[in-house]
Amino acid sequence: MKPLAIIGGTGIDELEGLEVLSEHRVETPFGAISRPIQEGRLGSTTLYFLQRHGSPDAIPPHRINYRANIWALKSLGVAGIVAINSVGGITASMRPGRLLIPDQVIDYTWGREHTFDEGEQGTLMHIDFTEPYDGALRRALLAAANSAGIPHDASGVHGVTQGPRLETAAEIRRLARDGCDVVGMTGMPEAALAREAGVPYASICMVVNPAAGLGDQPLTLAMMRDILASESAVVRQLLSELLKHR
Ligand code: HPA
């Protein structure tokens, strides 16, 4: 079976427990990937790991080369991509510490290189994006969360904003009216590019703060990092359970 790829976000610089076997510095027609892609073993399974923000230099959400990253993972022949996104919580159940496996996305980003379609293929890439996340991969994540006893929400709408600034309270009220349950900055165009590339893609959203205007404290990176530290351990547990069944 072909390996899965994990795209890590803020707070997941390394995949703990991953025995790195090699690093792939993939050249792409779209420029540089965020960081060399690690190939390694977690338990008895081989997987690829890419940190989308790079390191040690943090690439902000609007400057990530999403096209290069997805193209490179496809070129390695991955069976699918599990993306990890840290998000702010909008609906009441989306409190810091909560995990969401979203089933829908609303894209508020702008000005990002969001398609592989440069108008040169002779056909237009009107991909079907009705269901933005891969059904089978989502079901596998949900089964893994259930069998590991990890509390989570099994569906919800992931709103993706441009960043890097956080939102205003009014913007969050608008996202809530639009039906968004959580808000992040890196879910798009990554998901759409994976669909264009024909690579199954699903996301795990980690709620790290109440979205703007919904909490009782000013939003700080330190507050988010505290939650991230404990929540990323749960995400690792979820990934190990997912990989056990492959
Ligand atoms: N808004 C947007 N992106 C985020 C947030 C947020 O509140 N928290 C973590 N990523």
User: Would you mind telling me the total number of residues written for the chain in this entry?
Assistant: 246
> Is any ligand 1 atom within 6 A of the Cβ of residue 96?
no
Topology (CATH level 3) of domain 4-112+128-244: Rossmann fold (3.40.50)
Tens-digit pLDDT profile for the chain (246 aa)? 899 999 998 888 888 889 999 999 999 999 999 999 999 998 889 999 999 999 877 999 999 999 999 999 999 999 999 999 999 999 999 999 999 999 999 999 999 999 998 887 777 788 999 999 999 999 999 999 999 999 999 999 999 999 999 999 999 999 999 999 999 999 999 999 999 999 999 999 999 999 999 999 888 888 888 898 888 889 999 999 999 877
> Is any ligand 1 atom within 6 A of the Cβ of residue 175?
no
pLDDT tens across 82-121, in order? Answer: 999 999 999 999 999 999 999 999 999 999 999 998 887 7
pLDDT score of 123: 76
Side-chain half-sphere exposure of 185, counting CA atoms within 13 A: 18
Cβ atoms of residues 42 and 19 within 8 Å:
yes
pLDDT score of 158: 98
Cβ atoms of residues 219 and 166 within 8 Å:
yes
pTM metric for this prediction: 0.96
Q: Mean pLDDT of all residues in the chain?
A: 94
pLDDT score of 183: 98
Cβ atoms of residues 158 and 182 within 8 Å:
yes
**Residue 128 in 3-state DSSP?**
coil
pLDDT score of 144: 96
Candidate of 86, 186, 228 to mutate for ligand 1, largest count of ligand atoms within 8 Å of Cβ: 86
pLDDT score of 180: 98
Closest by CA position to 203, among listed 192, 218, 219, 214: 192
pLDDT score of 218: 87
Candidate of 107, 174, 175, 183 to mutate for ligand 1, largest count of ligand atoms within 8 Å of Cβ: 183
Burial bucket for residue 47 (CB in 10 Å: 0-12, 13-18, 19+):
buried
pLDDT score of 125: 80
213: left (phi over 0), alpha (psi -120 to 50) or beta: left
pLDDT score of 246: 74
pLDDT tens across 21-45, in order? Answer: 999 999 999 999 999 999 999 888 9
> Is any ligand 1 atom within 6 A of the Cβ of residue 209?
yes
Give the amino acid at 103.
Answer: D
